[in-house]
Amino acid sequence: MADRIITGIDVGTYQIKVVIVRVPKNKGERVLPQIIGTGYAESRGLRNGYIINDTDVVRSVRSAVAQAEKAAGVEVKKAYVGMGGVGTDEITSRGEVITSRADSEITHVDLEKAMQDSEARILEHIPNRKVLHAIPLSYHVDGELVLGKPQGMRGTKLEVDSLFITTFEQHLNDLVNAIESTGIAVEDIMASSLAASFVMLTKAQKRAGCVLANIGAETVSIVVFENSTPISIKVFPIGSNDITNDIALGLKIPLEEAEKIKRGGLSSANYSKRKLDEIVAARLTDIFELIDAHLKSIKRDGLLPAGIIITGGGSGISTIQDLARGALKLPSRIATLDPGQNGKIRDASWAVSYGLCMWGTSDEEDESPLGIAKHTKNNIVQWFSQFLP
């Protein structure tokens, strides 16, 4: 039986990154996917994660994919795609059903109907939006909280509290259209912050409770985990480009020089180190205050034992860890990718594209909340296919 080839495409505002992995077909043995090709290209035609010029985006995607194909020696025909941008949001809901069997035993059908009822209750509140992922957070049977899944238990009424991750239909249309225009079929779409969590967080961190913050060029996306379940997702329209702009204005230097200084690649006696630190700290503090405000809104501020894990292209700023710890009153660390992938992935900015590959290799029967969320993928792809020529 031939090995599986899986591709992940992260369409970011700063760069488009593509990772191709090979999954050996070993029966009865779980084998980690091997990275066989990577490619990247400068993003053009995007702003805050959404497409403003599809021709430029198609050209950038083609360039990144061609580079990955050349390295891997394979042709990409289908891919898993990350959906980010400021249009990504969340909404919670509660659904309920009366159990269908005469003996009141709760079945998989009851769980599905409860989730469907939960989704039906939010549809009128999310015009112009499409549900990317539907994640059950907790179940109640006859008013009593159930730990785990209630399948096989007995009860008259089943209730489910759910998290729905949504995005603007127009943004979704534009993204899938751009990928399809390159001749690549979209196999699945996933919220970018969730994709990054596959490779950036350990099981222990997700179980204890943590927040993963992906600092991109124009957006900061966070996903909050508790008891191994993603309980909240948020995207803020602020990013590391704002730090570059602040440095350029504060030190009266060109943007290109400001970017190099931010990344630690340029040192000069022409500016004050203290003033630079103040400029960077001010903008990072703004970012962490937004995250803290969101954690307060979901009543998790100061209550995540595994703390904040920082990733993305903006995570390389030297003082970021200490600033996060001070602003959020939580443990903080910089996420790192496994360096054992033959050096093909160099830093955490590849987390989304690599995570999409891991998502693609995950077991279809996975009963974790993320595994259940995967089952919504066909709805997205089938829904979108009606718009294709």
**In the chain, domain spans:** 4-86+169-199+339-385, 89-167, 202-334
Question: What is the arithmetic mean of pLDDT over 34-59?
Answer: 90
Burial of residue 268 (CB within 10 Å: 0-12, 13-18, 19+) is exposed
Provide the residue type at 138 as one letter.
Answer: S
Residue type at 256 in one-letter notation: E
Q: What is the mean pLDDT of residues 130-159?
A: 92
Instruction: State how far the Cα of 316 lies from the Cα of 229, in Å rounded to an integer.
Output: 27
User: At residue 377, does pLDDT exceed 70?
Assistant: no
Position 84 scores a pLDDT of 84
pLDDT at 216: 86
| Length of the chain (residues) | 389
Instruction: Assign 3-state DSSP to the chain and report helix, strand, coil percentages, each to 5.
Output: 40, 30, 35
Q: What letter does residue 72 receive in the DSSP assignment?
A: H
**H or E stretch covering 330:** none
Whether the predicted pLDDT of 269 surpasses 70: no
CATH no. of 89-167: 3.30.1490.110
Phi-psi region at 28: left, alpha or beta (left = phi > 0; alpha = psi -120 to 50):
left
Query: By the 8 A CB rule, do 130 and 164 touch?
Result: no
pTM beyond 0.85, yes or no: yes
Measured distance CA(290)–CA(327) in Å, rounded: 10
The torsion of the CA quartet 363, 35, 226, 314, rounded to 10 degrees, works out to: -150
pLDDT at 19 over 50: yes
The alpha-helical segments, DSSP class H, found in the chain are 54-72, 108-120, 169-180, 192-200, 203-208, 240-251, 255-262, 273-297, 320-328, 351-361, 369-374, 377-385
Nearest to residue 46, comparing CAs of 257, 241, 283?
A: 241
pLDDT at 30 over 60: yes
User: What's the burial of 260, exposed, middle or buried (CB within 10 Å: 0-12/13-18/19+)?
Assistant: middle
Mean pLDDT computed over every residue of the chain: 86
Question: How many Å apart are CA 333 and CA 311, to the nearest integer?
Answer: 9
d(CA 206, CA 383): 31
Measured CA to CA, the distance from residue 88 to residue 4 in angstroms comes to: 30
pLDDT-derived band at 266, boundaries 50, 70, 90: low
Q: Domain 4-86+169-199+339-385 has what CATH class?
A: alpha beta
DSSP for 1-58, written as a single string: -PPEEEEEEEE-SSEEEEEEEEE---TT-----EEEEEEEEE--SEETTEES-HHHHH
Domain 202-334: CATH superfamily, name plus number: ATPase, nucleotide binding domain (3.30.420.40)
pLDDT at 28 over 60: no
pLDDT at 383 over 60: no
- Domains 4-86+169-199+339-385 and 202-334 equal at CATH topology level: yes
Q: pLDDT: is 387 or 14 the higher one?
A: 14
Is pLDDT larger for residue 33 or for residue 329? 329
Three-state DSSP class for residue 329: coil
> pLDDT-based confidence at 131, cuts 50/70/90?
very high
Yes or no: say if 99 and 106 are a contact pair by the CB < 8 Å rule: yes
As a whole number of angstroms, the distance between CA 10 and CA 279 comes to 30
CA 80 to chain centre: 12
**Band of pLDDT at residue 381, cut at 50, 70 and 90:** very low
